[in-house]
Amino acid sequence: MSTIERAVLKGTIASAVEIRNIFTAEITEIGADTSELLWDVYMTALTEDVADLIHNSVHFYAYDVFQLNAGSWELIDEVTIDVDGANGGEALLNAAAIVLIGKAAGIRHMGRKFFGALSEANVVGNGFAAGFAASVAAALVSYVSPVTGIGGGSLVPGTVDKNGGFWPFVGGVVSSILGTMRRRKPGNGI
């Protein structure tokens, strides 16, 4: 049986600005392929690829896993991680971000992830430096690709519509122009 779950990735920029990103997936547990294991594989690959994109002032320290149950999200796990951005030099403004877009079938079924605090050396004008594209592509692949465990369990990334229907990603794109991270008031959004 499959469940719909989401992980909320938590981090900081320069130990001062709190950042969050939500990742939604359909989880199928089989044998030893538990939700915890599948999320660990997915989040490890994703955060390592994203770390290659962002300034070393960014630190990811945890992710919370929630399960969709009767229309509401219930916390089922809290996982501590320790991942830092890999790029030094001057940092751009926190709001300047790489935008990863996961696309699902249907109209308006997409997920966008914004990762800010980029290193100035990886940006030319309003876009990426040429040598930076491979790292951005690797992060996109980690974001939209399913994870299959040894026992046959799976984590399929996607998005949930307003009726609770799950839409798996069928592909993705990266905006070649830098985006702007959204700000939320405490208690709104995440």
Per-residue pLDDT reduced to its tens digit, 84-107: 999 988 888 888 889 999 999 988
Mean of the pLDDT values across residues 50-70?
94
Residue 188 pLDDT? 55
Residue 188 lies in a domain: no
Residue 185 lies in a domain: no
Mean of the pLDDT values across residues 113-117?
89
Residue 128 lies in a domain: yes
Mean of the pLDDT values across residues 53-73?
94
Residue 56 lies in a domain: yes
For residue 115, what are the domain limits? 2-180
- How many independent structural domains does the chain possess? 1
Residue 160 lies in a domain: yes
Q: Which amino acid is at 106?
A: G
How many residues are present in the chain? 190
Answer whether residue 47 shows pLDDT above 90. yes
DSSP state of 90: P
Give the three-state DSSP class for 125: coil
Those residues whose C-beta lies under 8 Å from the C-beta of residue 56, and which sit 6 or more positions away, are 84, 85, 86, 87, 88
Residue 123 lies in a domain: yes
Answer whether residue 2 shows pLDDT above 60. yes
CA dist 180 and 61 (Å) reads: 22
CA dist 22 and 15 (Å) reads: 20
Residue 79 lies in a domain: yes
Mean pLDDT of the chain: 90
